[in-house]
Structure 1
């Protein structure tokens, strides 16, 4: 039987603390946007944000600890999927009720703001892509948007909502 080794050299306490700090900053900003823009009381939103932070943190840890080259988003998605399944009973009910207080748009606002700052920091690299890279980027964004819209349209029609 092959022995599973943990990638300890890739996981330092400072990086774990940096993750937590980043997640807490994102969480606080999301709570502020969620409260002022979407009128969800901050006290009611805190448990949902803590659930999202915990899921994300555990997924990031698993991505570093498990010796497979799997992106953290896969682990985060699997954890979220599993704990929100109805077979998890009270856990899934808590996850659903607490996270339903968080607006997806509030989360997206913070993430997109961070992405903009990250792109701004690497503007020189972005310019090196040239016009072809920009065309490909715009096509990917447009394709993703249109694909999502078509899927949403299909699902909403199937459910009789529209």
Structure 2
């Protein structure tokens, strides 16, 4: 089976096409969930996901092409922050459309993709043994608990009733 995402350091037309295809599928599914769950207009959600997808493509391309040893998530974050800064002419456009995409819509599709990916390598996961299952559960639970604690503290500090 052909891998959908080319993890190599080379940026090929085929690899970029695969990323675009994956992000397009991801965007459409996210927008449908965003419309059903949060009643955001599909057109606005598609534009927002298009912006997020373009930032993702640029970040992945920069990771592979620039001689620095920096993860694509850093590039993606920095690009997103820069184009959303109030001093940038892109700010109001980006903030309006990206705000039409709910985080939970994105996370739901992402977790489904991860589940499918994990299902493909289930035999490798089983080979790790029961200890890996315990570690996985503890990592997921700790991440969730840590995020909930930080969110609660921020909500209390900003005066939002909890």
**TM-score normalised according to structure 1 size:** 0.90
**Match for residue 81 of structure 1?**
81
Which blocks of at least 5 consecutive residues in structure 2 are unaligned? 1-7
Alpha-carbon separation, structure 1, partners of 2:137 and 2:81:
30
CA RMSD of aligned residues (A): 1.5
Please tell me whether the aligned partners of residues 9 and 64 of structure 2 are also in contact (alpha carbons under 8 angstroms). Answer: no
Higher helix share: 1
**Match for residue 31 of structure 1?**
31
Q: How many residues align?
A: 154
Q: How does 1:5-154 map to 2 (within 5 A)?
A: 10-88=10-88, 90-154=89-153
Cα displacement (A) at 1:83: 1.3
Alpha-carbon separation, structure 1, partners of 2:128 and 2:84:
40
Cα displacement (A) at 1:44: 2.2
Cα displacement (A) at 1:9: 6.7
Which has the bigger relative contact order, CA under 8 A and spacing at least 6? Answer: 1
Alpha-carbon separation, structure 2, partners of 1:19 and 1:9:
14
Please tell me whether the aligned partners of residues 35 and 42 of structure 2 are also in contact (alpha carbons under 8 angstroms). Answer: yes
Which blocks of at least 5 consecutive residues in structure 1 are unaligned? 1-7
Runs of 4+ aligned residues of structure 1 deviating over 6 Å after TM superposition are none
Alpha-carbon separation, structure 2, partners of 1:94 and 1:128:
49
Cα displacement (A) at 1:11: 1.2
